[in-house]
Amino acid sequence: MKKMILFHPDPRLKKICAPVTFITDDLRKIANDMLETMYEAPGIGLAAPQIGFLQRLIVMDCVKEEDADPAPMVMFNPEIIESSQETAVYEEGCLSIPNHYAEVTRPKEVEVKWIDTEGVEQKQWFDGLWSTCVQHEIDHLNGKLFIDYIGVMKRQLITRKMQKFKRELSRKEED
């Protein structure tokens, strides 16, 4: 089932999410709903707090080629255990901050460990778009958004535009 995506600014997007204790069918259902919501948006990553669920869960699929098979990933309690010295710059966006983009510098490669949908611990290095995406999504679990990496002026500007966007949206819903 497709979920509503929360838009910045929202206090739920600033919270530190709680670790998942064990993987239940309910959690697997939420992960599937998140993948459906992400693909529909469309986006390449989604973190649980973006649908108002404050637990450590992210989903991703950074396959860009139109004709390639989807490669959905679901991660519970994802954690960066090592980062490369080398950095990379990507123009990032976020489903919670639609139509706003900014360049963010992050470690080029990261090693992440997580628990998969079967409850098994996994560990893998990520590079390129996958690396940017997994770092961006893990940030969400710590109440951090990509705009927290940019200058205060640009951040305030984006936040003001988002406030206006949300006011217009709620006005439309009232009509």
What burial letters (b/e) apply to 99-128, b meaning 16+ CB within 10 Å? ebebebebbbbbebebbeeeeeeeeeebee
Element (H, E) at 28: helix 25-40
Among 17, 34, 94, 147, binds Ni ion (CB under 5 A): 94
**Residues in binding contact with Ni ion, number by CB under 5 A:** 1
Beta-carbon contacts of residue 19 (< 8 Å; ≥ 6 apart): 55, 56, 77
Residue 102 or 115 with smaller CB distance to Ni ion = 102
Choose the binding region for Ni ion from 8-16, 19-27, 91-99, 147-155 (rule: CB under 5 A).
Answer: 91-99
Find the shortest distance in angstroms from Cβ 154 to Ni ion: 17
Asked whether 6 and 97 are in contact (CB, 8 A), the reply is: no
Nearest residue to 33 (alpha-carbon basis) of 14, 59, 13: 59
Find the shortest distance in angstroms from Cβ 169 to Ni ion: 18
Residue 23 or 97 with smaller CB distance to Ni ion = 97
Find the shortest distance in angstroms from Cβ 144 to Ni ion: 10
137, 168, 173, 174: the catalytic one is: 137
40 part of the active site:
no
Binding site for Ni ion (CB under 5 A): 94
Active site residues: 137
